[in-house]
Structure 1
């Protein structure tokens, strides 16, 4: 049976605060701090446990091999000799944010009746530009069934950052929907990461119906305010679009275009006078998982605890729930280590509409498997990483052993 599955990235043992993501305020603000990879990964596991307890299908992806010595070799240097900024980029654990792994179009939207996935090229940021090869290998393994079509990246220089800039409206996840690609235009102090040409290429590759495919420009105000991806200011689920007033370049035209393509849409807009853009970004109000609860329970919002600690945000959310809005339940989760590096609950997951029976079972979660993953993390992940540790040969050995232990525990040695 077709259903929505959330695939979370397991936070890798090299999780650190190098401040590599230009335009990501949290990443820049915490640059140079001491990270806690073990705590970070266990927080991610607890989020997956929480979603399983809600009755939501859950999958996961493996951390990539880091530090990436092969990438440094392409730059004619080594871990020992690389300049500090290149070494930090080789250590990055940012593949944990699975929302940037790929763009996904369910079978009901595609002319050939397959679920299409295009791996993101992430070319805008050097530390992420060398992720796609490892991510593509996992996607081809997890979604090897003929029900899927897995594609390589859009070529450079057209930046593509995956599902973080893609939304879908539908009457039900298994039915045909309207896909919304949100792109940016450069020119400010922070880069626009999603290019229009990349989004159009993916829509063509996924064989989408042009009449049910929209391309909407993200607002410059949002990008320059720190909303480096659309999912920092807007998220959609089934008939609901949950968005900040400043999300789109031409708000009125965007809303009209969405309503014309999908008349059943319910646009829940948070006005800037109630929640400022800085508060929305600081709390990651929209970088939440807007999910359909099983058993007719309506929609729930899995959001970071920082949202509860931001008065304007929590006041608005409580008023919305009390007013019988479409979001019926609020589920704060602790992902502070990820948040400090610029990624909330929605960054950590990729949504795939599929029959779970068609997915390689090694990538599907249950309580026992999450227990086994947590045991490996508790035993092998570093407790802390300081900026100076990135030049440690001993730490290189330790993190590679840690990842190898996880792959072995899950029977995924071919990803070694």
Structure 2
């Protein structure tokens, strides 16, 4: 039986902008208030999806959220016509207004946690949308994310969907950005590694002091229970509080795994040796590669600036692994030197491919942020909504859709333009038809 790991990338939404909303995310804060290019951002993302498809990978796409989020603004007391709601929110509460315009759902590594059927007690692929409680603009996403996931993975014979965890920071859950899976083959039982930043119910345990720890241990444990995972196949590791305070807001900014490779920075984890020993014990006797990047070769600062670890490691049809990296890695001397050396070492990683995703990078998200990984069997893949999978024809249709509906340049003042709301809803209504999603957006369900 064939097995696949399919990357479902988030399609950048029409309101892609730089509002600097993500405290703890250095790139997001550094580029606050700059003009953005939604069209360029969406096309950069589509180009990466098409390139991976051309490499022989199975590649999917997840739809963006409806923004500006008029329903959220009305819930907060802004009333009148849609145009009046936008104008009053922008005048009276700029921060709330900008949060409700965010296109952050493009980073689908935060969309959900996914456990493949080989790991779960009922033999189904399980999805739990992340609640993203730490940031208001992201906490608006889970309900619609759940609808999009259900429309993409609809067959109940193969797929199980859970409600997101309670909207409380005790169960702060950031999805796959703090979760990775190690396995010998995608279709065989693996070890699911959940990385947390703090203990919610035991504040005396280590925690960062400057920036928030967004993921709790209790959230990780709850998702593992919901997915029916065995204790023998789960490892919980704490992220190093010191690196969170250096701008490592998610684990996928400091570590990434694929099959039998865990690629991580020397300072990534708290109690590293104990965690790695548990992974090795639960992984079994098959070959396992721990690839540690020393601080002496790549500093945490260089890792964050280049997003060395917010890269994708994928297994090509040949069996070799390659790294999908942003061009910022190529431009950073220390990181480029390390990657040039890495491909000569005795690991499965044999090459690096660099991609321009600058529109995403400037808002604090690299290639790994842009994708949700779903390991599936051949039968499960056949049950996926085929319109959400990238091929030559669908790539051309989506590119044409972006050209038709997206603006070249967007400033903060443009976000209050009622015409942008109309443009966005028109675009998303057409997209749900292209992707055969049905009515997933609030404006379609009135």
TM-score grouping bracket, smaller chain normalisation: over 0.9
Alignment partner of 2:159 out of 148, 158, 163: 148
The reply to whether residue 332 of structure 1 matches residue 332 of structure 2 is no
The reply to whether residue 207 of structure 1 matches residue 228 of structure 2 is yes
Cα deviation for residue 258 of structure 1 reads 1.8
Q: Residue 42 of structure 1 aligns with which residue?
A: 43
Deviations, residues 49-94 of structure 1 (Å, cap 9, x unaligned): 1100110000111111111011111111232222111110110100
Question: 2: distance between equivalents of 1:362 and 1:204?
Answer: 32
Q: Residue 383 of structure 2 aligns with which residue?
A: 358
Question: 2: distance between equivalents of 1:385 and 1:66?
Answer: 14
The reply to whether residue 294 of structure 1 matches residue 317 of structure 2 is yes
Cα deviation for residue 326 of structure 1 reads 2.2
Question: 2: distance between equivalents of 1:240 and 1:191?
Answer: 28
Alignment partner of 2:135 out of 110, 125, 141: 125
SS of the aligned residue for 1:181 comes to strand
Q: Residue 66 of structure 1 aligns with which residue?
A: 67
Given that residues 190 and 224 in structure 1 are in contact (C-alpha distance below 8 angstroms), is that contact kept between their aligned partners in structure 2?
yes
Q: Residue 190 of structure 2 aligns with which residue?
A: 177
Q: Residue 30 of structure 2 aligns with which residue?
A: 29
Q: Where do residues 17-416 of structure 1 align in structure 2 (5 Å cutoff)?
A: 17-77=18-78, 78-82=85-89, 83-145=93-155, 146-157=157-168, 158-185=171-198, 186-263=207-284, 264-296=287-319, 298-354=320-376, 355-415=380-440, 416=444
Question: 2: distance between equivalents of 1:375 and 1:412?
Answer: 19
Cα deviation for residue 187 of structure 1 reads 4.4
TM-score, normalised to structure 2, is 0.91
Deviates more, 1:319-328 or 1:275-284: 319-328
Aligned residues: 415
Given that residues 181 and 192 in structure 2 are in contact (C-alpha distance below 8 angstroms), is that contact kept between their aligned partners in structure 1?
yes
Cα deviation for residue 390 of structure 1 reads 2.0
Question: 2: distance between equivalents of 1:326 and 1:411?
Answer: 38
CA RMSD of aligned residues (A): 1.2
Given that residues 9 and 60 in structure 1 are in contact (C-alpha distance below 8 angstroms), is that contact kept between their aligned partners in structure 2?
yes
Given that residues 167 and 181 in structure 1 are in contact (C-alpha distance below 8 angstroms), is that contact kept between their aligned partners in structure 2?
yes
Deviations, residues 186-242 of structure 1 (Å, cap 9, x unaligned): 442211111111100000010101011011000012211111110000011111000
Question: 2: distance between equivalents of 1:7 and 1:188?
Answer: 34
Question: 1: distance between equivalents of 2:177 and 2:326?
Answer: 17
TM-score, normalised to structure 1, is 0.97
Question: 1: distance between equivalents of 2:15 and 2:141?
Answer: 14
Given that residues 99 and 347 in structure 1 are in contact (C-alpha distance below 8 angstroms), is that contact kept between their aligned partners in structure 2?
yes
SS of the aligned residue for 2:318 comes to coil
SS of the aligned residue for 1:107 comes to coil
Cα deviation for residue 413 of structure 1 reads 4.5
Deviates more, 1:250-259 or 1:113-122: 250-259
Question: 1: distance between equivalents of 2:231 and 2:281?
Answer: 13
Cα deviation for residue 12 of structure 1 reads 0.5
Given that residues 382 and 399 in structure 1 are in contact (C-alpha distance below 8 angstroms), is that contact kept between their aligned partners in structure 2?
no
Cα deviation for residue 261 of structure 1 reads 1.8
Question: 1: distance between equivalents of 2:385 and 2:434?
Answer: 15
Cα deviation for residue 409 of structure 1 reads 3.4
Cα deviation for residue 315 of structure 1 reads 0.3
Q: Residue 202 of structure 2 aligns with which residue?
A: none
